[in-house]
């Protein structure tokens, strides 16, 4: 299927990008979604809390969304977009593998990638027994003993948050001093959050469960491990195209339309900020699609 110019090109084909492509297809728009197959949740064993789908695997969710988008008329291609140039109604996207793509609107949905601790055992257990998202995986540790990797206020807050589900929480600072103020230390103590400052040597476990965390001196007996080491945008396309963003790389968008500071360029999903959830990303993709469609209607239809 070839067009002289697309109505919209979506960069990224996760829940946000595919939902945008699906709805733009439903509006009979000529839409192309381009994705480089680096999903943030690829390591996770399931997507949790998605209404109507009980713990569906991330690959299966994307497959279903791709099929829906294609059935609606969208085109989904593998590829990597290098740059977004031009202006509203006349954008040009440069690709690594093929020639340029011309489009009237752009939806950025390339998401973020998490920083995973480089500790033996963590990469192997990441997504099954080691997690970064308490909202996604907290319900899987009800009544468990949970460890949290980190030494700062964010890690302490994560530990307290996990008490929503966990029976006991241990903060593992990995050889660093606990960097929180005295009132925060008091809150940790009052809520029974233990602090272990020894360096973490390795994490032992099997899929779905941590058996123990080996420290420089002794071990920590935990059933699951969480960390809060931040994430980075999986691309710099937005800022390079002139879109305003904050220090974390989240793009600034209009609260109603999700249009960025560059007219005609929209953004959805994790790249516009929290919450970093598949279900909210999908909803934002739909919102962006509605705004793009309306922006393409003839001006005199606004009566």
- Cα–Cα separations (whole angstroms), residue 121 to 39, 134, 206, 210: 21, 20, 10, 10
pLDDT (0 to 100) of residue 230: 85
Is the same domain home to 218 and 263? no
Instruction: Please indicate, yes or no, if residue 143 is contained in any of the structural domains.
Output: yes
Is the same domain home to 109 and 240? yes
Tens digit of each residue's pLDDT (9 = 90 or more) over 117-154: 999 999 999 999 999 999 999 999 999 999 999 999 99
Tens digit of each residue's pLDDT (9 = 90 or more) over 57-99: 999 999 999 999 999 999 999 999 999 999 999 999 999 988 9
Distance separating alpha carbons of residues 107 and 258, to the nearest angstrom: 9
Q: What's 110's domain CATH number?
A: 3.50.50.60
**Band (215; pLDDT cuts 50, 70, 90):** very high
pLDDT (0 to 100) of residue 38: 84
Which of 227, 254, 286 represents a domain boundary (last residue)? 227
Domain that holds residue 192: 122-227
Is the same domain home to 18 and 148? no
The stretch 261-268 carries a mean pLDDT of 98
Is the same domain home to 32 and 62? yes
Is the same domain home to 135 and 106? no
pLDDT (0 to 100) of residue 1: 39
Which of 167, 202, 227 represents a domain boundary (last residue)? 227
The stretch 43-49 carries a mean pLDDT of 87
Is the same domain home to 82 and 66? yes
The stretch 268-289 carries a mean pLDDT of 96
The stretch 158-174 carries a mean pLDDT of 97
The stretch 185-193 carries a mean pLDDT of 97
The stretch 104-114 carries a mean pLDDT of 96
The stretch 3-32 carries a mean pLDDT of 94
Residue 100 has pLDDT above 70, yes or no: yes
pLDDT (0 to 100) of residue 2: 42
**Band (39; pLDDT cuts 50, 70, 90):** confident
By C-alpha distance, which of 191, 186, 152 is closest to 172? Answer: 152
pLDDT (0 to 100) of residue 159: 97
Instruction: Please indicate, yes or no, if residue 206 is contained in any of the structural domains.
Output: yes
Instruction: Please indicate, yes or no, if residue 145 is contained in any of the structural domains.
Output: yes
Instruction: Please indicate, yes or no, if residue 160 is contained in any of the structural domains.
Output: yes
Instruction: Please indicate, yes or no, if residue 1 is contained in any of the structural domains.
Output: no
Residue 3 has pLDDT above 70, yes or no: no
SS (H, E, C) the chain: CCCCCEEEEEECCCHHHHHHHHHHHHCCCCEEEEECCCCCCCCCCCECCECCECCECHHHHHHHHHHHHHHCCCEEEECCEEEEEEECCEEEEEECCCCCEEEEEEEECCCEEECCCCCCCHHHHECCCEECCHHHHHHHHCCCEEEEECCEHHHHHHHHHHCCCCCEEEEECCCCCCECCHHHHHHHHHCCCEEECCCEEEEEEECCEEEEEEECCCEECCCEEEECCCEEECCCHHHHCCCCECCCCCECCCCCCCECCCCCEEECHHHHCCCCCHHHHHHHHHHHHHHHHHHHCCHHHCC
Is the same domain home to 109 and 11? yes
Is the same domain home to 31 and 158? no
Number of domains in the chain: 2
The stretch 103-115 carries a mean pLDDT of 96
Average model confidence (pLDDT) across the chain: 94
**Band (4; pLDDT cuts 50, 70, 90):** low
Is the same domain home to 168 and 103? no
Q: In this predicted model, which residue has the larger pLDDT, 107 or 44?
A: 107
Residue 191 has pLDDT above 70, yes or no: yes
pLDDT (0 to 100) of residue 50: 92
């Amino acid at each position: 299927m070839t067009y002289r110019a697309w109505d919209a090109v979506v960069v990224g084909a996760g829940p946000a990008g595919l939902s945008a492509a699906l709805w733009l297809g439903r509006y009979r728009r000529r839409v192309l979604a381009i994705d480089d197959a680096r999903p943030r949740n690829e390591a996770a064993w399931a997507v949790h809390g998605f209404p109507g789908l009980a713990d569906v695997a991330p690959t299966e969710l994307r497959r279903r969304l791709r099929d829906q988008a294609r059935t609606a008329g969208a085109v989904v291609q593998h590829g990597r977009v290098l740059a977004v140039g031009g202006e509203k109604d006349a954008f040009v996207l440069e690709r690594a593998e093929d020639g340029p793509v011309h489009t009237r609107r752009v939806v950025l949905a390339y998401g973020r990638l998490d920083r995973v601790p480089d500790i033996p055992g963590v990469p192997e257990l990441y997504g099954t027994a080691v997690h970064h998202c308490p909202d996604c995986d907290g319900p899987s540790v009800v009544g468990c003993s949970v460890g949290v990797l980190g030494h700062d206020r964010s890690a302490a807050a994560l530990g307290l948050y996990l008490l929503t589900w966990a029976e006991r929480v241990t903060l593992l600072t990995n050889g660093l001093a606990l960097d929180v103020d005295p009132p925060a230390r008091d809150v940790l103590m009052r809520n029974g959050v233990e602090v272990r400052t020894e360096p973490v040597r390795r994490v032992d476990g099997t899929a779905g469960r941590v058996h123990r965390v080996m420290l420089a001196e002794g071990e920590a007996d935990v059933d699951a491990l969480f960390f809060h080491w931040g994430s980075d945008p999986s691309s710099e396309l937005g800022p390079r195209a002139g879109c305003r963003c904050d220090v974390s790389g989240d793009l600034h968008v209009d609260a109603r339309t999700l249009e960025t500071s560059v007219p005609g360029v929209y953004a959805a999903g994790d790249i516009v900020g929290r919450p970093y959830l598949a279900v909210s990303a999908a909803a934002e993709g739909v919102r962006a699609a509605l705004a793009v469609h309306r922006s393409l209607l003839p001006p005199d239809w606004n009566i």
